[in-house]
């Protein structure tokens, strides 16, 4: 992997130490160039290019095939979206819930993947059960925790493939088997997974998978995709509808026939120039190459953690077991709010965000992306140690 060449293609990396890829990934030049080029084409040749939805301009199916290849699924099982929340709302409103049905939701999930279940509880009398992912638990313990929540009334298990707080990667195949053992379905928020590694969704037993592509996949903000296993397509009633997504629409009666594929979920106006740019981001990641990204990110994360290990006052709440870790590190300084730690590190040029740790601890999330460098990890480790020592000194004076 040629890190210098990769970094030259991501202009923002020349201006800061960017460690917030789990928030929004920095755009490679190819992504921005694609957006600008297509909007310039619309400017020069008229908006009719967008109004006619022509594949030679929108390249929606080309992008769909790229996503399908990344997930090793059929393109007809892929819908192109605008966000993770859009996909979770499509599934939530589309499933036919009854009073007393149970949904199991993870406490560490992003609101984009959780708020919809509160709506389902209010509207249909669904019971939402919550479970925690503890950073010091192994895969077997995670399954035991979930097993204690599952019942004959469980309809859906909803969890992040990789959590957004500290990069905890759940054992997907085992979760799918657990859900299916009681006739339930598994939906995953894959936003923090896509672009970090290649995951064969069909082989993993996933029923529904939703992901934003503007983080680790380095696509433009406001793009994403959803996988619906072919056998599950009929279980999702199209609930968010409009122009697009239909095979036939009767102007006299407004009756319509949904598209027979996952394209049925692509309702309403679409920001067409963003989807070829999303494919450009995915292609950039593929060329890195993708096969080396997971180990490189883990190596950078390990390097950072090793340099702060044992430092008095530093708390590391990264997942303990390496098989459950990704390119994220969770760090805190004892007694210091996460926002304060984040602001101090930002003042030194480190772009990151504060987050939640265990037992109410506030800390920071460090994203060790493949384009980051060993030198950046070393500088950050030094900065964290300095903050911890300064904090301990102030505490001692008090």
Query: What's the confidence (pLDDT) of residue 268?
Result: 86
Question: Domain of 47: which CATH number?
Answer: 3.40.640.10
Beta-bridge mates of residue 256: 249
Task: Looking at the structure, tell me whether residues 7 and 41 fall in a common domain.
Answer: no
Q: Over 70: is that where the pLDDT of 107 sits?
A: yes
Q: pTM here?
A: 0.94
Range of the domain at 144: 29-286
Task: Looking at the structure, tell me whether residues 251 and 314 fall in a common domain.
Answer: no
Query: What's the confidence (pLDDT) of residue 102?
Result: 97
Q: pLDDT tens-digit profile of 123-148?
A: 999 999 999 888 888 999 999 999 99
Contacts of 111 (CB under 8 A, 6+ apart): 85
Mean pLDDT, to the nearest integer, of 159-170?
A: 94
Domain termination residue (choose one: 286, 317, 332): 286
Q: Percentage of the chain with pLDDT > 90?
A: 81
Domain termination residue (choose one: 256, 286, 316): 286
**What's the token pair of residue 78?**
């892929």
Task: Looking at the structure, tell me whether residues 225 and 362 fall in a common domain.
Answer: no
pLDDT band at 394 (very low <50, low <70, confident <90, very high): low
Q: Over 70: is that where the pLDDT of 24 sits?
A: yes
Contacts of 44 (CB under 8 A, 6+ apart): none
H/E stretch holding 381 reads helix 374-397
Give the phi and the psi of residue 87 in degrees, each rounded to 5. -65, -45
Q: Over 80: is that where the pLDDT of 397 sits?
A: no
Q: Over 80: is that where the pLDDT of 359 sits?
A: no
Q: Residues for the chain: how many in total?
A: 398
Q: Over 90: is that where the pLDDT of 316 sits?
A: yes
- Look at strands 350-351 and 314-316 and give their pairing: unpaired
Q: What is the largest CA-CA distance in the chain?
A: 79
* Contact between residue 336 and residue 113 where contact means Cβ atoms under 8 Å apart: no
Query: What's the confidence (pLDDT) of residue 240?
Result: 86
Domain termination residue (choose one: 222, 252, 286): 286
């Amino acid at each position: 992997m040629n890190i210098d060449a990769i970094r030259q293609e991501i202009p923002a990396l020349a201006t800061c130490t960017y460690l917030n890829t789990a928030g929004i990934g920095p755009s490679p030049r190819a992504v921005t160039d694609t957006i600008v080029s297509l909007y310039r084409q619309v400017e020069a040749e008229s908006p009719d290019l967008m109004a006619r939805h022509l594949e030679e301009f929108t390249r929606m199916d080309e992008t769909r095939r790229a996503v399908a290849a990344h997930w090793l699924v059929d393109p007809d099982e892929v819908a192109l979206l605008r966000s993770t929340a859009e996909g979770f709302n499509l599934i939530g409103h589309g499933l036919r819930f009854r009073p007393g049905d149970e949904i199991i939701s993870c406490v560490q999930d992003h609101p984009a993947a959780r708020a919809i279940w509160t709506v389902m509880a209010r509207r249909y009398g669904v019971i939402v059960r919550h479970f925690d992912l503890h950073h010091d638990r192994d895969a077997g313990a995670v399954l035991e925790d979930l097993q204690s929540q599952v019942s004959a009334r469980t309809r859906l298990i909803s969890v992040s493939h990789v959590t957004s707080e500290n990069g905890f990667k759940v054992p997907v195949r085992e979760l799918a088997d657990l859900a299916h053992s009681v006739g339930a379905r598994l939906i995953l928020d894959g936003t923090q997974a896509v672009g970090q590694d290649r995951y064969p969704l069909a082989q993993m037993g996933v029923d529904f998978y939703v992901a934003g592509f503007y983080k680790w996949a380095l696509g433009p903000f406001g793009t994403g995709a959803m996988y619906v296993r072919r056998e599950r397509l009929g279980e999702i009633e199209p609930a968010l509808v409009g122009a697009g997504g239909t095979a036939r629409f009767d102007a006299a009666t407004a009756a319509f026939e949904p598209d027979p594929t996952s394209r049925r979920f692509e309702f309403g106006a679409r920001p067409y120039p963003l989807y070829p740019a999303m494919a450009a981001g995915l292609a950039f990641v593929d060329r890195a190459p993708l096969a080396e990204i997971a180990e490189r990110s883990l190596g950078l994360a390990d390097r950072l953690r090793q340099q702060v290990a044992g430092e008095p006052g530093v708390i590391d709440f990264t997942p303990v077991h390496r098989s459950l870790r990704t390119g994220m590190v969770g760090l805190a300084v004892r007694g210091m709010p996460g926002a304060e730690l984040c602001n101090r590190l930002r003042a030194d040029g480190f772009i990151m965000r504060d987050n939640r740790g265990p037992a109410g601890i506030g800390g920071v999330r460090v994203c060790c992306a493949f384009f980051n460098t060993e030198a950046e990890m070393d500088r950050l480790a030094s900065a964290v140690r300095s903050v911890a020592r300064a904090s301990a000194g102030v505490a001692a004076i008090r």
